[in-house]
């Protein structure tokens, strides 16, 4: 595709044409991975939303199928919005999703596979009882802020639980429902969790992680060896935040650990374009995998010209860090199958202002690993106490601004004469007896096209560079 469609990616998930957004209902069934996603079959901007469907045996190569869920009954006639799959104890997958009804209210619907012996689960049947959860006068649910059901989990009392994203005024909510049979759902008196001033919580995700080890867990797992993670996608800022905490199943409430919050200083999976993410438990390889949507950076006119908009990020395995204070993610190991020719650079001393070209690779499709050793920490510049916003700092101290320890990193997708490039780099600062590491992705020179979004992204990285080497892995794909 490189000749006629130079901007399509080489190995990210994207359909041949049209608009895509959120990943939906990821699951594994009979050894086959399923990915559904929000899709406009008729155009390149958001609208006419259905659940498009693809399957894979390796999370890398995908086979498209017909749309799995599309408007067909009053409870979803104006759109089939985001939702999640749950694997029942019998092994049967079911899907809960948000439908938009004739009054444009958001309601929750259930669908199950028509034929369980089809490993591709190509046809889905909606239950006649839909909608199973709906806003009413009595339950005080905001009909335009009630969407994106999670994977359900089973308590020791044999009742299912699910949360749905919502808000009340500007308080973000994870509304909790319970059910004995997956068909009759009763709203709990209290939300599982809520946080003031965070606005609408889109695409909540709630799952257990092991305290010891990198293995993933089924969503119904709980106990002393487990912590829980709650993620919300904040509609106000289009940023996602997660907290780590404890799920008290007797009271059915989730309590984030001290210092764990949903906004500004909170934890994030990603500091770039990444939204409406969702995890699932891969029972075949005992891992939890994270999918997320990457919104397009070109303008609507640009999207119309290209014929498509949006892609899914490379799936990542995720687990709890040894500290218990943040999650760790790594691209699924399967992506390494795509590595072709290997090019190794001997280690070298990087002098200030120097650039080394990596020759012998296809720069448009590469998987790069670099390790940096730092010799002279003393010269690190002092971090001004007012530099608290890493993204802003990355913008102010962009790749061309000289520092004392940094910028050092990678020019990605650099064109001849460095007319276009994206600089991914570190800077190290000194701040009262410790070192602070900043990681930036400077997009300001990433395109000569003025209509493209070229926001620079960045974050402080929680490592002590005195004790650990800094490394960088970059998956580059055009
Ligand atoms: C998030 C979102 C969801 C909604 C879906 C509609 O990007 O707005 O809240 O279900 O997209 O396509």
* Res 3 pLDDT > 80: no
Backbone φ, ψ for residue 393 (5° rounding):
-60, -40
232 in ligand 1 pocket by Cβ < 6 Å?
no
- Terminal-residue alpha carbon distance, the chain: 10
Q: Are 42 and 48 in contact (CB under 8 A)?
A: yes
pLDDT in tens, 406-425: 999 999 999 989 999 999 99
For 100-145, the DSSP string reads: E-TT--EEEEEEEES-TT-TT---EEE-TT--SB---TTTT--TTS
Can you identify the CATH homologous superfamily of domain 18-335? Glycosyl hydrolase domain; family 43 (2.115.10.20)
pLDDT in tens, 335-347: 999 999 999 999 9
Atom 1 (ligand 1) nearest CA: 276
Q: What ipTM does the predicted assembly reach?
A: 0.99
Q: Which of ligand 1's atoms lies nearest the C-alpha of 200?
A: 9
DSSP assigned state of 270: -
From the CA atom positions of the chain, what is the Rg in Å?
Answer: 23
- pLDDT, residue 265, reads 74
82 in ligand 1 pocket by Cβ < 6 Å?
yes
> Which of helix, strand or coil describes residue 171?
strand
- pLDDT, residue 258, reads 86
**Residue 22 among the catalytic residues:** yes
Helices and strands (DSSP H and E) totals, the chain: 2, 31
203 in ligand 1 pocket by Cβ < 6 Å?
yes
* Res 433 pLDDT > 90: no
pLDDT in tens, 224-271: 999 999 999 999 999 999 999 999 999 999 999 987 777 777 899 999
Cα 427 to the center of its chain, rounded Å = 26
* Res 362 pLDDT > 90: no
pLDDT in tens, 19-66: 999 999 999 999 999 999 999 999 999 999 999 999 999 999 999 999
Distance 16 CA to ligand 1 centre (A): 21
Distance 108 CA to ligand 1 centre (A): 13
CA distance 208 to 244: 9
* Res 1 pLDDT > 90: no
pLDDT in tens, 103-138: 999 999 999 999 999 999 999 999 999 999 999 999
Residue ranges of alpha helices (H) inside 168-250 are none
- pLDDT, residue 5, reads 79
Q: Are 476 and 369 in contact (CB under 8 A)?
A: no
Distance 377 CA to ligand 1 centre (A): 46
CA distance 64 to 429: 48
Ligand 1 pocket test target in 147, 149, 204, 309 with most atoms within 8 Å of CB: 147
> 6 preceded by cis ω (within 30°)?
no
49 in ligand 1 pocket by Cβ < 6 Å?
yes
Residue spans in the chain of domains classed CATH 2.60.120.560: 340-348+359-477
Pairing of strands 226-234, 201-210: antiparallel
106 in ligand 1 pocket by Cβ < 6 Å?
no
- pLDDT, residue 2, reads 54
98 in ligand 1 pocket by Cβ < 6 Å?
yes
- pLDDT, residue 361, reads 85
Q: Are 76 and 103 in contact (CB under 8 A)?
A: no
**Mean confidence (pLDDT) of the chain:** 95
Ligand 1 pocket test target in 38, 107, 233, 296 with most atoms within 8 Å of CB: 38
Bridge partners of 254? Answer: 247
270 in ligand 1 pocket by Cβ < 6 Å?
no
Q: Which fold has domain 340-348+359-477?
A: Jelly Rolls (2.60.120)
* Res 303 pLDDT > 90: yes
pLDDT > 70 in the chain, percent: 99
């Amino acid at each position: 595709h490189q000749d006629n469609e130079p901007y399509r990616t080489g190995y990210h998930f994207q359909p041949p044409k049209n608009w895509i957004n959120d990943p939906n209902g990821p699951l594994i069934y009979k050894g086959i991975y399923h990915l559904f996603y929000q899709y406009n079959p008729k155009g390149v901007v958001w609208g006419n939303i259905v659940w498009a469907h693809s399957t894979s045996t390796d999370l890398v190569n995908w086979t498209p199928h017909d749309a799995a869920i599309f408007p067909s009954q009053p409870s979803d006639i104006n759109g089939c919005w985001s939702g999640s799959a749950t694997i029942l104890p019998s092994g049967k997958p079911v899907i809960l999703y948000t439908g938009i009804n004739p009054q444009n209210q958001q309601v929750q619907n259930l669908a199950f596979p028509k034929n369980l012996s089809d490993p591709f689960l190509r046809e889905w049947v909606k239950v006649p009882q839909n909608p199973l959860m709906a806003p009413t006068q009595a339950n005080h649910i905001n009909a335009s802020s009630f969407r994106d059901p999670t994977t359900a989990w089973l308590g020791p009392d044999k009742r299912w639980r699910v949360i749905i994203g919502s808000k009340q005024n500007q308080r973000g909510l994870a509304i909790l429902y319970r059910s004995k049979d997956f068909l009759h759902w009763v709203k709990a008196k209290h939300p599982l969790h809520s946080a003031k001033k965070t606005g609408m919580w889109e695409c909540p995700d709630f799952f257990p992680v092991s305290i010891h080890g990198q293995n993933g867990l089924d969503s119904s797992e709980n106990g002393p060896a487990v912590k829980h993670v709650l993620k919300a996608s904040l509609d106000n800022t289009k940023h996602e935040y997660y907290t780590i905490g404890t799920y008290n199943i007797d009271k059915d409430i989730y309590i984030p650990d001290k210092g764990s919050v949903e906004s500004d200083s909170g934890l994030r999976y990603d500091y770039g374009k990444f939204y409406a993410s969702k995890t699932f438990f891969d029972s075949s390889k005992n891992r939890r995998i994270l999918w997320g949507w990457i919104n397009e950076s070109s303008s609507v006119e640009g999207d119309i010209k290209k014929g498509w908009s949006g892609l899914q990020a490379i799936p990542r395995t995720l687990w709890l860090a040894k500290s218990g204070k943040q999650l760790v993610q790594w691209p699924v190991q399967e992506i390494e199958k795509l590595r072709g020719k290997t090019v190794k650079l001997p280690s070298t001393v990087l002098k200030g202002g120097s650039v080394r070209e990596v020759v012998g690779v296809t720069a448009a499709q590469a998987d790069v690993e670099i390790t940096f050793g730092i010799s002279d920490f003393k010269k690190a510049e002092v971090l001004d106490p007012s530099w608290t916003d890493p993204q802003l700092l990355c913008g102010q101290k962009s790749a061309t601004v000289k520092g004392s320890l940094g910028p050092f990193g990678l020019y990605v997708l650099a064109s001849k004469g460095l007319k276009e490039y994206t600089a991914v780099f570190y800077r190290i600062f000194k701040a009262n007896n410790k070192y602070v590491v900043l990681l930036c992705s400077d997009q300001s020179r990433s395109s000569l096209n003025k209509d493209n979004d070229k926001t620079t992204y960045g974050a402080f990285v929680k490592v002590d560079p005195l004790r650990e080497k800094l490394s960088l892995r970059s998956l580059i794909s055009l």
